[in-house]
Amino acid sequence: MDPREPATTNLLLKAFELPEFEAFDSEPGSDAVPRAAPGLLPLSVQSVDMCLQTNKTNHYTSAYKIQNLVIRRGQEFIMKVTFSRPLTQTDDFQVEFMIGSKPVTSDNTMVVATFDSRRRGPWSGRVVEARGQVLTLGITPTANAIVGKYSTWVAIVMANGKQRTKRDAVTDLYLLFNAWAKDDAVFYPNEAGRREYVLNDHGIIYQGSIETADSVTERSWDYGQFERGVLDACIYILDVSKMPIADRSDIIKVVRKGSAMINVQDDNGVLVGNWSDNYSMGTPPTSWTGSVSILLQYASSGVPVCYAQCWVFAGVFNTFLRCLGIPARVITNFISAHDNNGNLTTNLIFNSDGSLDTDDTKDSIWNFHCWNEAYMVRADLPPDLGGWQVVDATPQENSDGYFRCGPASVVAIKEGLLCHPFDLNFVFSEVNSVVVSSTKDRYGTLTTFKVDKEYVGKALYTKAINSTAFEDITITYKYPEGSVEDSLAMARAQEYSSQCSLPKLPKAWLFVKMSAAQVKLGQDVNLVVVFTNQSDVTQTVRANLTGSVTYYTGVRARDPFKNLVFSVTVGAQQEQSKTLNITAQEYLANRGSLVSLSFVVSGHSGEQSVSATQVVTLQTPELTVTVSGTPRVQQQMFVSVSFTNPFSFTLQDVIVCMEGSGLISPKQHSYSTIAPWAKITWKESCIPQVTGLRHITASLDCSDLRGVTSTLCT
Amino acid sequence: MDPREPATTNLLLKAFELPEFEAFDSEPGSDAVPRAAPGLLPLSVQSVDMCLQTNKTNHYTSAYKIQNLVIRRGQEFIMKVTFSRPLTQTDDFQVEFMIGSKPVTSDNTMVVATFDSRRRGPWSGRVVEARGQVLTLGITPTANAIVGKYSTWVAIVMANGKQRTKRDAVTDLYLLFNAWAKDDAVFYPNEAGRREYVLNDHGIIYQGSIETADSVTERSWDYGQFERGVLDACIYILDVSKMPIADRSDIIKVVRKGSAMINVQDDNGVLVGNWSDNYSMGTPPTSWTGSVSILLQYASSGVPVCYAQCWVFAGVFNTFLRCLGIPARVITNFISAHDNNGNLTTNLIFNSDGSLDTDDTKDSIWNFHCWNEAYMVRADLPPDLGGWQVVDATPQENSDGYFRCGPASVVAIKEGLLCHPFDLNFVFSEVNSVVVSSTKDRYGTLTTFKVDKEYVGKALYTKAINSTAFEDITITYKYPEGSVEDSLAMARAQEYSSQCSLPKLPKAWLFVKMSAAQVKLGQDVNLVVVFTNQSDVTQTVRANLTGSVTYYTGVRARDPFKNLVFSVTVGAQQEQSKTLNITAQEYLANRGSLVSLSFVVSGHSGEQSVSATQVVTLQTPELTVTVSGTPRVQQQMFVSVSFTNPFSFTLQDVIVCMEGSGLISPKQHSYSTIAPWAKITWKESCIPQVTGLRHITASLDCSDLRGVTSTLCT
């Protein structure tokens, strides 16, 4: 077959122009009979009103800052058509909606609504009210209609052909997924959830570490899905992806394509990932406070935006999903494994001196990783695997050839049902991977000394509905460790993966633990290492401590800043502790976006090796956001951001940003230097556009201090 | 994480050079103790013999025309190492195998075999025999080892480091999948099957049409998987695809990647598809007789080869699979549907004049379509879905973003279990699609007039084991039409797809049938059309006959050569037949690769529409292949190909090809003209290289006559 190019461009509706008069083919043997009764004036359309106010309220789309009608599928909307005269029994008309450059009936890129006697659909129509020459029409797009921007045409049907209205951009409409419609694949069953997961344009993303108390941090994120230009940007993304218009009715294909397009890999997508700590050619991932400026920059330039790490990918993807009407949320997985070969284990390989073998260790573990969940029916899978689905736009691992991930059913992950699409193996590993630590000997062969089944996937958090608190959703991903259900799910998962049997370990008699308190950036760290000897003889443990700077994602710098060899003698059936002091000077030599320090202690005595890790989160200095007075719509007010440099060194090339959807557009201010202990204050005026609770998010970023953010709720 | 580029190049082993001496890191606290007893000469390796003769026989790889050792994984092979002196108890050595540019232990791109006391693997080793300074070693690669080309190194382990042999290309070895090894994912359970599906380098591909008796045609195909350069070409294809070396142990990933790479789409793959009937810029798909010249041309130039249609994609893919050791066969599906939107129905949309609406009809039906099956365990799926898997390299539809298809479990297709990867929906439709015929009225709305559940997937054929007959394998894909199991499978399939309920039709009283005898190319066609009127009044049927030229794949030319309007009057409860004559002159105006004529008759009387289709296969003239004398190894013989032009017109720019693996390399001869009724004879000498049954395949091709082939078995 001659492969026909499917239509893949939605935004350029102009590319398709219908003839105003379309003659019918003469049917063989049938004479042309005029439909209008003799004596009547010919019927024509004088005006079309899309009833924006009424429809937007009924469809929960008032917040979209857009001139055109925005509605949700599977739900009636109205339009008023003024004809040249009142209609008679013999008059006939229909309303046509077209999307993409090659609209045809068979794939629903051209859909017709008919009324009363000639009801054929596929979009059902009814005359709600007829007042003289003005008809109010009710039209219900099917609940599986294509999502995107349509042009609208009223056609008067005559004996010899159809007379269409002229193309009028004012009557173009945007059709979205509908979490309120029972027949839509994205139907979400309660109103509080729909308001949070579809309509909330602000959120909180959890970060940091869960290893020590209070080390989970919050990052405020401005999703801004209703801001001017954002909906067009989301459709533009699908156009760039060359996704056929006809596929855009399918929630599974849309979210999968979205997860591929939010990262630049393969397809010239939205965001360029950068975990190098050198962000000089773009914006540091830590300095973004929301999605709007990223999406607008991408849509206006067509050029991928620099730079992102996981929470930026997840934040922008969340905007994309909510903007198109899909219930979505950002999830943080603490202690997230990245299993390179899909065998459900994470292999850490150590050299004989106790240091990590960075060439041979392909798998890795991040302090935290962010992804998205989207809510949908999974008609392609057995029943009960619908609901929340993991989708992940961070380019970690390619899925079947592309950097994309999901949709992966959360229920299937919990049950270990990894035999279904998409990417269940990979996501299952992120939350359940078994960590296998091995030493590589001089011959290049490996000896396993530790198998840890509980380390990975410590907890999963997301922002709670209608609250600024977090919700712990770990139980939706995994049964409690040690439960019968957990064993069953793990067994099922292993059946569907390439995991080999885990190595058996010789009985251990040497153990090590390490602990440390959380400290402020700039303070010394005290590590306490405790060795326990359960053998019946005194042991001399030769130990090695490595300290590395850890960036936001839990990625360690290649070169450790500390490497200490020491030895400890432990009596039979005794334990022995040792306190190791790491000064601020030692780790501050590695300034930058460091947010935590990662320590690995390893030791061996005779045949036995042990190791332990400890992450120390560094609390960043505070940024203060204040507003003057009570915000009132259309009244000027002021927002102030202030900061004091707590360090003994000068901060250079400091960028401060603020934004707040509905209140203040994204703004940025630069300081070439902030001296030691100096305070800066930046004040901006703004005029609130909408009522209700609003958020202002500020961030401060420079090469020596990353990821300082603060949010004020006003 | 800093995304690390995985190694993706196998063939350029030179890119990786190991140090000849690799010093050990000194372990803290351990003194260097020399291993060799004092007084002995230092140990070194004098020579390494890969024992080609013995290993190739045991591993069924003698047929590979290659200097190096070719073996199959999961099975022991031997090598002889000659040391500088007999070994003592204190001597230690190991054999190392490396693949790709970054060999590391953790992903098995570097594997070690150890012997006797220090047995660690992963490849197990044993000393088979020790005679003085010569050791015969037995080494068993794991049954899940990476497939490809390895370098071999013998390393003598000393106290302070390892002394390796020099890099020697003579000791490089090729490791393949192993259908003989029980633990290999491609294990095939009987010897006759393994000899056919892995070792047979020649096959038959079925084509044509199954609508009239004897219209199935055979095409001989020279797979040539053992020919010089073919194995390297197959590895080259994986290198071009940038498939990570570490993934090449995984049968699922290898066949999926293969299905993407055999076509040019997305990834600069092997073959360019062309269904246009204009092949002036390359070789017509009909003139290929085997895979060897295609693969060698691709590997030597790096440029995709022009042109292919489905049987060429399937033939070359079959070579790729068998060459790598994977049991594989070519399947022909007669009446193959191409469902564009995955709803398990094929929609044919007709205009009101009875002609097919080519703009609105996106789905299509091919007379036949060829794909491959590969045999494997599906560890990623529930039990019982292993065995034969559909893989298809013809770029019909993109699968999850790429033009590729499969592996799709044949059992899952039969059972309607479409909820598993990969592409089950698409393949299920090819054999089970419901054909829905609709008329499009003047308003653009559709009325269905026919729903046919039995038309598609009439039969599936493949070459039988150890025979030149076909095997009908329809029962492996579908339960008998109308059986309870069939209804259950269809219901299950619909549950996992987007199929809407099929339209209900009004009770029919008008029917039409059409029939015709098969004819020789150049003869007139007589069509018999019978209308049946089951109503109680006489009906006048307004009818329309369209005749189109059909190319090899069942694709019709856009413009019909015949368009006839006629009417038939049928009495109440009567039938009325009409014979329509189509002269050879009418269809010969459309010469080229036409192999059949496709007729659609449609008619309507009152509210009722009917239609029927009929394919008339055109028998092509004969090509004769003969040999002189009985073939003997290393004795010259002659092959003759002769042909007589049966037409009243001159054939121009005629290309005749012949090839026969083991007997004669691919050869081509051109004739600028062959006059009407003229006979040509082409004789070539050759020297048989191997004993046993051999095939010679010849083809003749020119713009007016495509796809004339003949095979001689000698």
Q: What is the pLDDT of residue B29?
A: 42
Q: Which range has highest mean pLDDT (A23-27, A674-678, B343-347)?
A: A674-678
| Nearest alpha-carbon partner for B331 in B310, B346, B345 | B310
Contact A107 B381 (CB under 8 A): no
- Provide the percentage of residues in chain B whose pLDDT is more than 90: 50
Q: What is the pLDDT of residue A214?
A: 67
Higher pLDDT, A31 or B440: B440
What does the DSSP assignment read for A383-401?
TT--EEEEE--S-SSEETT
Taking residues A219-247, report their average pLDDT: 94
Contact B419 A256 (CB under 8 A): no
Mean pLDDT (chain A) is 87
Query: Any chain A CB within 8 A of the CB of B632?
Result: no
| Closest-CA distance of chain B to residue A256, Å | 9
Higher pLDDT, B523 or A538: A538
Q: What is the pLDDT of residue B28?
A: 44
Whether residue B409 has pLDDT greater than 70: yes
| Closest-CA distance of chain A to residue B50, Å | 23
**Best to test chain B binding among A105, A343, A396, A418 (most B CBs inside 10 Å):** A105
Taking residues A193-213, report their average pLDDT: 89
Q: Which range has highest mean pLDDT (A427-436, B398-407, B661-670)?
A: A427-436
Considering only CB atoms, which chain A residues are within 8 Å of B569? Answer: none
Q: What is the pLDDT of residue A499?
A: 59
| Closest-CA distance of chain B to residue A144, Å | 10
Considering only CB atoms, which chain B residues are within 8 Å of A121? Answer: 445
Number of domains, chain B? 4
Whether residue B34 has pLDDT greater than 60: no
A345 and A449 together in one domain: yes
Report B:147-206 residues touching A (Cβ under 8 A).
157, 162
Bridge pairing between strands A93-98 and A148-157: antiparallel
Angle subtended by helix axes A484-495 and A424-432, to nearest 10: 140
Considering only CB atoms, which chain A residues are within 8 Å of B409? Answer: none
Q: Residue A593 falls within a domain, yes or no?
A: yes
What is the per-residue pLDDT across B284-301, written as a single tens digit (0 to 9) for each?
Answer: 888 899 999 999 999 999
Q: Which range has highest mean pLDDT (A493-502, B492-501, B677-686)?
A: B677-686
Radius of gyration (Cα) for chain B, nearest Å?
Answer: 30
Q: Residue B390 falls within a domain, yes or no?
A: yes
Q: What is the pLDDT of residue B555?
A: 59
Query: Any chain B CB within 8 A of the CB of A396?
Result: yes
Taking residues A204-220, report their average pLDDT: 82
Contact B105 A440 (CB under 8 A): yes
Contact A349 B2 (CB under 8 A): no
Q: What is the pLDDT of residue A32?
A: 41
Q: What is the pLDDT of residue B117?
A: 66
What is the per-residue pLDDT across A247-290, written as a single tens digit (0 to 9) for each?
Answer: 999 999 999 999 999 999 888 899 999 887 778 889 988 889 99
State the Cα–Cα distance between residues A6 and A419, nearest whole angstrom. 31
Contact A380 B496 (CB under 8 A): yes
Split at pLDDT 50, 70, 90, the class of B129 is: very high
A462 and A334 together in one domain: yes
How many CA atoms does the CB half-sphere of A352 hold within 13 Å? Answer: 14
Considering only CB atoms, which chain A residues are within 8 Å of B402? Answer: 401
| Nearest alpha-carbon partner for A677 in A647, A704, A643, A652 | A647
A666 and A564 together in one domain: no
Q: What is the pLDDT of residue B119?
A: 64
Q: What is the pLDDT of residue B709?
A: 84
Q: Residue B503 falls within a domain, yes or no?
A: no
Taking residues A94-119, report their average pLDDT: 86
The sign of the torsion formed by the CA atoms of B312, B315, B317, B323 equals negative
A517 and A629 together in one domain: no
- Burial category of B53 from C-beta neighbours within 10 Å (exposed 0-12, middle 13-18, buried 19 and up): exposed
Higher pLDDT, A344 or B329: B329
| Nearest alpha-carbon partner for B269 in B302, B235, B227, B314 | B302
What is the per-residue pLDDT across B298-345, written as a single tens digit (0 to 9) for each?
Answer: 999 999 999 999 999 999 999 999 999 999 999 999 988 887 666 788
Q: What is the pLDDT of residue B254?
A: 97
Of A121, A361, A421, the CB nearest to B106: A361
Taking residues A676-690, report their average pLDDT: 88
Q: Residue B482 falls within a domain, yes or no?
A: yes
A476 and A530 together in one domain: no
A409 and A392 together in one domain: yes
Domain of B690 in residue numbering reads as 623-713
Is B310 tagged catalytic? yes
Q: What angle do CA A160, A163, A167 make, to 5 degrees?
A: 155
Query: Any chain B CB within 8 A of the CB of A649?
Result: no
Q: Residue A501 falls within a domain, yes or no?
A: no
Query: Any chain A CB within 8 A of the CB of B362?
Result: yes
Q: What is the pLDDT of residue B17?
A: 63
Taking residues B574-586, report their average pLDDT: 90
Taking residues A151-164, report their average pLDDT: 88
A551 and A653 together in one domain: no
Q: What is the pLDDT of residue B591?
A: 58
What does the DSSP assignment read for A209-275?
-SSSTT-EEEEEEE--TTSTTHHHHHHHHHHHTT--GGGGG-HHHHHHHHHHHSB-TTTT-SEEE--
Q: What is the pLDDT of residue B2?
A: 34
Q: Residue B183 falls within a domain, yes or no?
A: no
Taking residues B152-160, report their average pLDDT: 89
Catalytic-role residue among A392, A423, A701, A704: A392
A227 and A353 together in one domain: yes
Query: Any chain B CB within 8 A of the CB of A553?
Result: yes
Is A310 tagged catalytic? yes
Higher pLDDT, A521 or B45: B45
| Closest-CA distance of chain B to residue A222, Å | 25
Considering only CB atoms, which chain A residues are within 8 Å of B422? Answer: 400, 421
Q: What is the pLDDT of residue A4?
A: 46
Query: Any chain B CB within 8 A of the CB of A19?
Result: no
Q: What is the pLDDT of residue B238?
A: 95
State the Cα–Cα distance between residues A507 and A554, nearest whole angstrom. 32
Contact B273 A3 (CB under 8 A): yes
Query: Any chain A CB within 8 A of the CB of B402?
Result: yes
A640 and A683 together in one domain: yes
Report the predicted TM-score, pTM, of the whole model to 2 decimal places: 0.82
Q: Which of B176, B201, B232 is the last residue of a domain?
A: B176
CB A273 within 8 A of CB A680: no
The sign of the torsion formed by the CA atoms of B136, B142, B143, B147 equals negative
What does the DSSP assignment read for A108-149?
TSEEEEE-GGG---SEEEEEEEEETTEEEEEEE--TTPPPEE
Whether residue A552 has pLDDT greater than 80: no
The DSSP symbol for A424 reads: H
- Provide the percentage of residues in chain A whose pLDDT is more than 70: 90
Q: Which of A617, A637, A668 is the last residue of a domain?
A: A617
Considering only CB atoms, which chain A residues are within 8 Å of B162? Answer: 442-443
Whether residue B41 has pLDDT greater than 90: no
B111-147 b/e (C-beta count within 10 Å ≥ 16 → b): bbbbbeeeebebbbbeeeeeeeeebbbbbbbbbbbbb
> Comparing A211-215, A300-304, B68-72, B84-88, which segment has the lowest mean pLDDT?
A211-215
State the Cα–Cα distance between residues A610 and A531, nearest whole angstrom. 9
Nearest CA in chain B to A254: B400
Taking residues B341-367, report their average pLDDT: 76
> Comparing A160-174, A229-243, A601-615, which segment has the lowest mean pLDDT?
A601-615
Catalytic-role residue among B184, B267, B277, B392: B392
Whether residue B676 has pLDDT greater than 80: yes
Query: Any chain A CB within 8 A of the CB of B353?
Result: yes
CB A305 within 8 A of CB A269: no
Query: Any chain B CB within 8 A of the CB of A120?
Result: yes
Contact B27 A353 (CB under 8 A): yes
- Provide the percentage of residues in chain A whose pLDDT is more than 90: 49
Task: Tell me which residue has tokens 């003997």.
Answer: B632
Split at pLDDT 50, 70, 90, the class of B435 is: confident
Considering only CB atoms, which chain A residues are within 8 Å of B395? Answer: 3
State the Cα–Cα distance between residues B146 and B107, nearest whole angstrom. 9
Catalytic-role residue among B201, B232, B250, B310: B310
Q: What is the pLDDT of residue A343?
A: 77
B255 and B381 together in one domain: yes
> Comparing A89-98, A216-225, A587-596, B696-705, which segment has the lowest mean pLDDT?
A587-596
| Closest-CA distance of chain B to residue A676, Å | 32
Is A392 tagged catalytic? yes
State the Cα–Cα distance between residues B450 and B429, nearest whole angstrom. 18
Mean pLDDT (chain B) is 87
Of B29, B256, B401, the CB nearest to A402: B401
Contact B341 A107 (CB under 8 A): yes
Question: What is the Cα B541 distance to its own chain's centre?
Answer: 46
Query: What CATH number does the domain containing A658 carry?
Result: 2.60.40.10
Q: What is the pLDDT of residue B25?
A: 59
Whether residue A73 has pLDDT greater than 70: yes
**Best to test chain B binding among A96, A163, A241, A380 (most B CBs inside 10 Å):** A380
Of A112, A422, A444, the CB nearest to B445: A112
Contact A420 B419 (CB under 8 A): yes
Catalytic-role residue among B202, B338, B369, B695: B369
Of B29, B275, B421, the CB nearest to A1: B275
| Closest-CA distance of chain A to residue B203, Å | 25
Q: Residue B165 falls within a domain, yes or no?
A: yes
Strands (E), B120-178: 123-131, 134-140, 148-157, 161-164, 173-176
B334 and B392 together in one domain: yes
- Provide the percentage of residues in chain B whose pLDDT is more than 70: 90
Q: What is the pLDDT of residue B214?
A: 67
Q: What is the pLDDT of residue B1?
A: 32
Report B:665-684 residues touching A (Cβ under 8 A).
none
| Closest-CA distance of chain A to residue B239, Å | 14
A552-580 b/e (C-beta count within 10 Å ≥ 16 → b): bbbbbeeebbbeeeeebebeeeeeeebeb
Query: What CATH number does the domain containing B309 carry?
Result: 3.90.260.10
Catalytic-role residue among A184, A202, A222, A310: A310
Q: Which of B596, B617, B638 is the last residue of a domain?
A: B617
Contact B275 A364 (CB under 8 A): no
**Best to test chain A binding among B261, B380, B435, B544 (most A CBs inside 10 Å):** B380
Nearest CA in chain A to B94: A443
Query: What is the maximum alpha-carbon separation in chain B?
Result: 116
Higher pLDDT, A38 or B564: B564
Q: Residue A7 falls within a domain, yes or no?
A: no
Bridge pairing between strands A305-308 and A271-273: parallel
Query: Any chain B CB within 8 A of the CB of A657?
Result: no
CB pairs under 8 A between A and B: 167
